Chains A and B, each alone.
Chain A
Amino acid sequence: EDKVVQSPLSLVVHEGDTVTLNCSYEVTNFRSLLWYKQEKKAPTFLFMLTSSGIEKKSGRLSSILDKKELFSILNITATQTGDSAVYLCAGLPNAGGTSYGKLTFGQGTILTVHP
Chain B
Amino acid sequence: KAGVTQTPRYLIKTRGQQVTLSCSPISGHRSVSWYQQTPGQGLQFLFEYFSETQRNKGNFPGRFSGRQFSNSRSEMNVSTLELGDSALYLCASSLLDLAGEQYFGPGTRLTVT
Contact = CB atoms under 8 A, between A and B. Distances in A.
Given A45-B101, A101-B33, A106-B42, 9 more contacts: A31-B99, A43-B43, A43-B104, A44-B104, A45-B103, A90-B43, A100-B48, A101-B48, A105-B42
B33 A42 contact: no
How many A residues are at the interface, by size bracket? 20 to 34
B43 to A, nearest CB: 4
A101 B98 CA distance: 8
Given A104-B45, A108-B42, A34 B102 contact: yes
A94 B98 contact: yes
Contacts of A103: 33, 35, 43, 45, 92, 102
A99 interface: yes
Nearest to B44: A105
A89 to B, nearest CB: 11
Interface of A: 31-32, 34, 36, 41-45, 48, 88, 90, 92-95, 98-108
Contacts, number: 67
Interface string B92-113: 1010011101111111000000
A104 B58 CA distance: 11
